[in-house]
Amino acid sequence: MESLVFAKGAAGQYFTDLVEACEDHFNRIYPECVNSTHHETVMCPPVFPFGYVAPTGQASGAKALTRVEEDTIRGDNAELKIFQLLEKYGQNTKQPMFVLTQLKLSEFSKNVLQQVLPADHPVLSKNFNGEIDFVIIHRRIGVILMEVKSKDKFSKSLQGEARKQVQKGEEIIHALLQADHRTGISIPVYKVIAMPNVADECRGNSDFIGLRGVHVRSDDHFNSWWKSMFVETEFEPEKQQKLQHLISVCVCQKSEVSSAVLASVCKKIATQNFLQKSYKKGMRDPGDRFQEVSRPADNWEQEILARQFLFLNPDQLRIWNGDSHMFFNGSSGSGKTILLQFKALKCAKASGEKVVVVVPLPLIALYKEFFAQNGISSEKIDVLSPVEFFHGSLFRNNDITSQFHFFADELQTFQTKLPDLFTLLETLMARFDASDCYCWIAYDYMQMNEDTISLDETGGICSAANLPLETQKLCDKFLSFQHASCLNTVVRSTLQIYSHLQLFIKKSLKDLFEKVILLEHIDDGTKQSWGRWVRRYEVSNHLGHHICGPSVAEFQDAYLDEVVEIIATEINKWTTQDCLHRVAVLVSTTFLKENLSQLMTMKGISFCDVGPKTNAVVLDYGHKAHSYEWPIVIAVSNDNDNRLCINYIMLTRAITRLVVIKSISTS
């Protein structure tokens, strides 16, 4: 009887053998991991597959993120904690293992066991429901099955449920290992019950290993637990081959298309599902908790936001419902640009007055595209660069009857082209002081650009650092203007990107401050001002969710050809050829961009500058990329560049994959 064709591989190749099909796929996706006992830890999938996005930050009215992580590690958050520990430990100690998350037993039985086992095999008659939280296949340890159950105190019933799940997983693994009916090949299978909130030791059957709260509270505790529980050994060739078959089958059944994984995470960020959950919970609870978030479609004043921005957190609501004359600032990813864009859109649709939007030159195309997509013609709204506006007739026209709504974004960049910026702002505010028209100006006081950092002669502070003080002085002079409190909730970021950037920025600021202290010609007042600015970053920024993405990758001392190889690998891993616009390569001004562009051309990688969306990888200087968002960002700097390696601190935005490369100069 002819075999059933059930798998199609690359180049139209068909397979009738499951292991053969999986191995072919595995060899193409992970060539460095084929029959090798030495490779990096691989997370499958690399993005933690949340069933929902938990509201934990200030966006939900909850406690600060660090408190939540310390006090409430349960549900998906408990699994996320284990996921992070496994990934970090695996990468730091170079563990050759594959970590599979949430392996659904019924699907695995149907898709795998029924293909490789005879129809009368006893395992196939069993009902495998539920899932195993983590299946770890380690080339020098064997198979580790881990079930996570989290409750404040030890629960015998929960532990019983966990035992049943890992026992089911053990049966499936044993059946798969023995599928070819060969005897004498035994791979160790360890069963772990993880209870991150429980401090006491594992109770009962010694066949199960306990992972308790004390072991997950720090990296050191987890590392010592791992080393005490699992003994590494060198498996003989037959066992290595058996493990390779198991890895190929499990990984290929579990793996998702990388670009689809990233798209899913981006969608969660864009739609703010974490606020939807908080909103629904608040509506069920007594009292006024539903006020914690606001659904724009329920409020006519916010209806203009409903199409793209589903919910507003308290920070954003304060701005949206605030004064018509206002400065506001906040971290990257806190929603400043979206608030400003939609308020400008509302003015353009609701009134007959002209609307003027002033943004840095690289942002003009982005803003024009936004208004065009929302049905606003260029006759109703002008999108201008700072120089075009402040040096143009519209600004210099003192006719009070010529009214218009004014919106400015990324104010911290204006001073590069306009040294007399504060004088110009004073003139502008005088014109709007008695006007009913909107005048909204937004900036990011933490966004330091290379063009605005000067330490060589005066030790001058980045212009963005001066903005909170200078703009407040202007508001004190023109009483119709208010300076809103800083937006503190980051709502467009993954947990990995956010955590990495928090540490990176703090270190960068301290490094800059130390250089200022050493400059003898800088007066004490300037040094103290720098110190205050460095400390200001300690304001309580919160991450509004727990969306987990792939880890941040860092490469040191890479030559130009190696940089291009890394770029090519990231493109192949995280996107497809028809979605190249999802990738941005941002370089510092000291980096040899021309040399990199030549090598990318030779590699066949299409690229373009920051600007209108085309199907090409963006290759440009980081300081030109204000308010643009890409799921995949590769930041490259020169080894001689002592300033910020990531010169455009936009990386707490809707980015789900960040690669940082320090390149060796070839000039």
And the tokens for 510?
A: 């301290």
- Decide if 381 contacts 643 (C-beta within 8 A): no
Q: What confidence score (pLDDT) does residue 73 get?
A: 40
Alpha helical stretches, state H, 363-462: 364-373, 386-390, 393-396, 421-432
Q: Over 80: is that where the pLDDT of 326 sits?
A: yes
More confident site: 127 or 304: 127
Percent of the chain whose predicted confidence (pLDDT) is above 90: 29
Q: What confidence score (pLDDT) does residue 70 get?
A: 39
Q: What confidence score (pLDDT) does residue 399 get?
A: 66
Q: Which residues pair with 620 in a beta bridge?
A: 586
Position 599 confidence tier, pLDDT thresholds 50, 70, 90? very high
**Burial class, 480, CB count within 10 angstroms (exposed 0-12 / middle 13-18 / buried 19+):** middle
Position 566 confidence tier, pLDDT thresholds 50, 70, 90? very high
Q: Is the Cα torsion angle 105, 111, 116, 118 positive or negative in sign?
A: positive
- Decide if 344 contacts 355 (C-beta within 8 A): yes
Q: Over 80: is that where the pLDDT of 366 sits?
A: yes
Q: What is the DSSP string of 203-272?
A: -S-TTEEEEEHHHHSSHHHHHHHHHHH-------HHHHHHHHHHHHHHHHHH---HHHHHHHHHHHHHHT
Q: What confidence score (pLDDT) does residue 535 get?
A: 65
Q: What confidence score (pLDDT) does residue 290 get?
A: 41
Which residues make Cβ contacts (< 8 Å) with residue 284, sequence separation at least 6?
none
Alpha-carbon distance of 218 to 109, in angstroms, equals 36
Q: Over 90: is that where the pLDDT of 138 sits?
A: yes
More confident site: 566 or 11: 566
Range name among 93-107, 527-541, 580-594 with the lowest pLDDT average: 527-541
Q: What confidence score (pLDDT) does residue 270 get?
A: 74
Please tell me whether residue 355 adopts helix, strand or coil conformation: strand
Contacts 24+ apart (CB under 8 A), 176-181: 176/112, 176/113, 176/116, 176/246, 176/249, 177/242, 177/246, 179/116, 179/117
- Whose tokens are 């200030």? That residue is 58
More confident site: 465 or 330: 330
Position 62 confidence tier, pLDDT thresholds 50, 70, 90? very low
Q: What confidence score (pLDDT) does residue 278 get?
A: 58
Which of 42-51, 359-368, 380-389, 486-495 reaches the highest mean pLDDT? Answer: 380-389
Q: Over 90: is that where the pLDDT of 389 sits?
A: yes
What's the one-letter identity of residue 527? K
User: What integer is the mean pLDDT of 337-363?
Assistant: 88
Q: What confidence score (pLDDT) does residue 4 get?
A: 54
Q: What confidence score (pLDDT) does residue 280 get?
A: 62
- Decide if 309 contacts 296 (C-beta within 8 A): yes
Q: What confidence score (pLDDT) does residue 24 get?
A: 85
> pLDDT tens-digit profile of 262-300?
888 888 777 766 666 655 655 555 544 444 566 555 555
Which residues make Cβ contacts (< 8 Å) with residue 175, sequence separation at least 6?
113, 117, 121, 123
What does DSSP assign to residue 487? B
And the tokens for 162?
A: 């966990």
Q: Over 90: is that where the pLDDT of 474 sits?
A: yes
Q: Over 60: is that where the pLDDT of 666 sits?
A: no
**Burial class, 465, CB count within 10 angstroms (exposed 0-12 / middle 13-18 / buried 19+):** buried
Strands 482-483 and 325-329: parallel
| Average confidence score pLDDT of the chain | 80
Contacts 24+ apart (CB under 8 A), 210-213: 211/82, 211/146, 213/73
Q: What confidence score (pLDDT) does residue 98 get?
A: 96
Instruction: Say if pTM beats, i.e. exceeds, 0.75.
Output: yes
- Decide if 555 contacts 663 (C-beta within 8 A): no
Q: Over 50: is that where the pLDDT of 71 sits?
A: no
> pLDDT tens-digit profile of 234-261?
999 989 988 998 999 999 887 777 888 8
**Residue 445 CB-half CA count within 13 A:** 23
Alpha-carbon distance of 468 to 444, in angstroms, equals 10
> pLDDT tens-digit profile of 423-459?
999 999 999 998 999 999 999 876 654 444 443 333 3
Q: What confidence score (pLDDT) does residue 284 get?
A: 59
> pLDDT tens-digit profile of 604-645?
999 999 887 789 999 998 878 877 888 899 998 886 654 544
Per DSSP (E only), the strands in 396-446 are: 404-408, 439-443
Which residues make Cβ contacts (< 8 Å) with residue 83, sequence separation at least 6?
43, 48, 99, 101, 134, 548
